Structure 1
Amino acid sequence: MTMSQPSPSKTPMTAEGPPAVGSALQALRQSQQLSLDELSRRAGVSKSMLSQIERNLANPTVAVLWRLANALGVSLTDFLAQGTAAPQAPAITVVPPHATPALKSPDTRCELRILGPIDMAGRFEWYELSIQPGGVLASEPHEAGTQEHLSVLTGSMTVRSGGDEKKLKHGDTARYGADVAHAIGNPGKSVATALLVVVHPGT
């Protein structure tokens, strides 16, 4: 979800799965001829943290990744896509689980697996969302006209968009504006999973 997109999260990108956040950050920073000091000022992230991220010594939270992406003028998905190869696509492309980027909230209660292809980022995106009991994935407003579609696969969830809130059970789909503050929560006692689709204006 380009989530100002679903917001917080720690992104435990595994070594074998794309993308390499550290090298991506360094490549983007150097291509814009930015020093660590300048990027630190723009993003509000300490110089020492930036250095650790570039050397893959620290796992940045989604909030930090968003600040860096905004400071560099790229979307989060484009940021995560930096440095990945673009080979000629075969007739059928299979992405194994370990190669699917995943974002986790700081409390680890929410996880988003990015299922959509990089070249559709900013237009049409979809995710597999898992929320532990009591977890809440809160997001700031996206660009005007953005819509989200949430289909609950297991468990139950609540959706809040603006001043409205609905409870969803297994099989329900909620469609709502994502250009206002919105949140998805799990009020149940077991893990809840859903398919989350984000449709940007003009799509």
Structure 2
Amino acid sequence: MDDLQHDIARNLKKIRLQKGLSLDQAATRTGVSKSMLAQIEREKSNPSISTLWKIATGLQISFSSFMEKEDTAIEKVVFKKLTPAIDDQEMYRVYSLFSFHPEKKFEIYSAHLAAGSFHHAEAHSGEEYLLVAAGAISLTVHGKTQVLETGDALHFVPNDVHDYTNNGAEEAVFFDLIYYPR
């Protein structure tokens, strides 16, 4: 059994029950079918990034809430042991480095976008802070396109759809800190 799939299943069920929602009510709020939610909770389905974002937005939780682990005083993240969330085309991978914690109000990801590929992200809450670690990406948000190269950083409010594009010949890697002010 995949550790990430197990964490997603456990956390989704815990969050849904904490909110006092039936599967039907959760399906209505998220736009994800009751059967898909049940399959995710039973570890019978490995949801895409888009599906997880729909659920997170509908339940008004952070994306990384699905990947939460136990709190520790020191947390070392060994990248090669992480399991990414992958988009439907397998061109975009997101690794949760530090999951959301209500007292800290942020989460940090390492995102990897294949050469010559594109990722469409739905609007969501919070503020994003991007730092390009390798390659280059174009980010289109609020009708404006920003080109970011290695070492460049950008802050934006993701309350509108936004698109990440890698027009380069190599994979682009960027860190994404999402801050939730409320």
Structure 2 length as normaliser, TM-score?
Answer: 0.78
1:100: how far off? Answer: 4.0
2:10 partner letter = S
Higher relative contact order (CA 8 A, sep 6+): 1
Please tell me whether the aligned partners of residues 115 and 128 of structure 1 are also in contact (alpha carbons under 8 angstroms).
yes
2:77 partner letter = V
Report the equivalent of 2:106: 124
2:46 partner letter = N
Report the equivalent of 2:24: 37
1:118: how far off? Answer: 2.9
Report the equivalent of 1:85: 70
Identity %, equivalent residues: 26
Secondary structure of the residue aligned to 1:118 is: coil
Q: How many residues are matched?
A: 182
**Two-structure CA RMSD over aligned residues (Å):** 3.0
Pick the structure with more strand per residue. Answer: 2
CA separation of 1:193/1:109 partners in 2, compared to 1, >3 Å: closer, same or farther?
A: same
Report the equivalent of 1:96: 78
1:34: how far off? Answer: 3.6
2:12 partner letter = L
Residue by residue, what CA displacement relative to the aligned partner does 1:18-54 show, whole Å, maximum 9, x if unpaired? 8522232333334445433343333333333222212
Report the equivalent of 2:36: 49
Please tell me whether the aligned partners of residues 162 and 182 of structure 1 are also in contact (alpha carbons under 8 angstroms).
yes
* Structure 2 unmatched ranges of 5 or more: none
- Counterpart of 1:157 (choices 137, 142, 158) is 137
Residue by residue, what CA displacement relative to the aligned partner does 1:35-74 show, whole Å, maximum 9, x if unpaired? 3334333333333322221221111123322333344443
- Superposed, 1:1-203 pairs within 5 Å as 15-17=2-4, 20-81=7-68, 84-86=69-71, 89-90=72-73, 92-97=74-79, 100=82, 102-119=84-101, 123-143=105-125, 146-201=126-181
Structure 1 length as normaliser, TM-score?
Answer: 0.71
Larger radius of gyration: 1
Structure 1 moving runs of 4+ over 6 Å: none
More off after superposition, 156-165 vs 23-32: 23-32
Task: Please give the alpha-carbon distance, in whole angstroms, between the structure 2 residues aligned to 1:141 and 1:72.
Answer: 14
CA separation of 1:140/1:49 partners in 2, compared to 1, >3 Å: closer, same or farther?
A: closer
CA separation of 1:119/1:179 partners in 2, compared to 1, >3 Å: closer, same or farther?
A: same
